[in-house]
Amino acid sequence: MTTTLPARASRSGTALPRWVSAVLPVLLLALWELAGRVGGSVYLPPLSKVLGRFARDWFPDVIVHDLLPSLARFAVGFLGAAVIGIVLGLAIGMSRTLDDYLRPTLEFLRALPAVAILPVAVFVLGLGNAMRIAVIVFGVVFPVLVNATAGARAVRPERVDAARMFGLSRVDIARRVVLPSALPMISAGLRVALPIALIMTVVSELVGGQNGLGFYLTSHQQMFDIPAMFTAVLVLGVLGNLLNAGYSAVEDRVLHWAKHA
């Protein structure tokens, strides 16, 4: 499984004006409001009611109690998995032996739905942050690892040979030659992993939780507090998009050279 960089919208030619892309979301939100008001169903509170609830409950209580802990777990889990995935991926991509040793095991683990690991993780690691972060890492590490492996393998052999002739050690070759060449692929893997990390953060908080967005969702479900559940869904949607946009911005700055490579 390899992932390619998502296609960029063409910057020239007959592109529609920017505001056009905002029409559909605005329309959907308006429709939500309308459906909530007209339908009068308790299961679909109007957007305005959800936003009112958001303004009342989230500043600062829910942000401090649930959002920030979730973000912290997300960040630690994502970064931890990124480091593990990149290091291991490069090593496997550069070493046929390592590849032979590890591939069957990794293929097996990769095929496991990450959510299935949750009950096991609870028993092994308990109910604390270690379990939650481990679950995030498990979900995130494979897309990164697979892409890092593919990126490392795609490095032109003559570059590695040249580096070796200059007497660079394996670690130096990995750091100075393989890693830069593999960066676009690694970055694509990280981008795929980003929403997975968010999903796994919420999933990890569904069991034995005391805070976090996943905990907030389930505890309000138990009390049939539907507007509160919708605030969490909205926040998760916005959060996912912000993270993606933020990542794109970083990628544009750091990897702008690779766009045309």
Partner 1 sequence: MTARTHHVALTATALLGTALLTACGGGAAPVTGEDGRTTLTMATVASDSCAQGFFGVDQGIFARHGIDVTLDVVAGVPELAAAVTSGQADVACSAPTAIASGVSQGLPFTMIAPGIAYTKDNPGSNLVVPAGSPITGVADLPGTTVAVNALNTLPHLASRAMLEDSGVDPESVTFVNLAFPNIAQAMETGQVQSGVLQSPFTENEEAAGGRTIGSPYDYVNGGQPFVYTVWFGTTEFAGQNPEVVTKLREAMAEVSEWANDPANADARRASLAAATGQTAATASTSRLSNYGTELTPESIQSQLDLQVRFGTLPEPVDAATLIAAGSTS
- Could you tell me the smallest distance in angstroms from the CB atom of residue 67 to partner 1? 17
User: Cα–Cα distance between 65 and 104 in angstroms, integer?
Assistant: 42
If one asks whether residue 35 binds partner 1 (CB under 8 A), the answer comes out as: yes
Q: Which stretch binds partner 1 (CB under 8 A): 93-101, 136-144, 219-227, 248-256?
A: 219-227
> For partner 1, which residue of 122, 154, 168, 243 counts as binding (CB under 8 A)?
122
Non-local (6+) Cβ contacts of 38 within 8 A are: none
Q: Which is nearer to partner 1, 142 or 216 (CB)?
A: 216
User: Cα–Cα distance between 120 and 125 in angstroms, integer?
Assistant: 8
If one asks whether residue 83 binds partner 1 (CB under 8 A), the answer comes out as: no
If one asks whether residue 226 binds partner 1 (CB under 8 A), the answer comes out as: yes
Q: Which is nearer to partner 1, 52 or 180 (CB)?
A: 52
If one asks whether residue 223 binds partner 1 (CB under 8 A), the answer comes out as: yes
- The site map against partner 1 for 189-218 (x = CB under 8 A) is ------------------xxxx------x-
Query: In the block, which residue shows the tokens 């990995």?
Result: 174
- The site map against partner 1 for 139-158 (x = CB under 8 A) is --------------------
If one asks whether residue 38 binds partner 1 (CB under 8 A), the answer comes out as: yes
Q: Which stretch binds partner 1 (CB under 8 A): 84-92, 121-129, 165-173, 187-195?
A: 121-129
- Could you tell me the smallest distance in angstroms from the CB atom of residue 30 to partner 1? 11
The answer to whether 258 touches 183, Cβ cutoff 8 Å, is yes
If one asks whether residue 41 binds partner 1 (CB under 8 A), the answer comes out as: yes
- Residue 253, burial from CB neighbour count under 10 angstroms (0-12, 13-18, 19+): exposed
Q: Which is nearer to partner 1, 138 or 230 (CB)?
A: 230
- Could you tell me the smallest distance in angstroms from the CB atom of residue 57 to partner 1? 13
User: Cα–Cα distance between 74 and 200 in angstroms, integer?
Assistant: 8
- Could you tell me the smallest distance in angstroms from the CB atom of residue 64 to partner 1? 16
If one asks whether residue 3 binds partner 1 (CB under 8 A), the answer comes out as: no
Binding site for partner 1 (CB under 8 A): 28, 31-32, 34-35, 38-39, 41-44, 122-123, 126-127, 207-210, 217, 219, 221-226, 229-230, 233
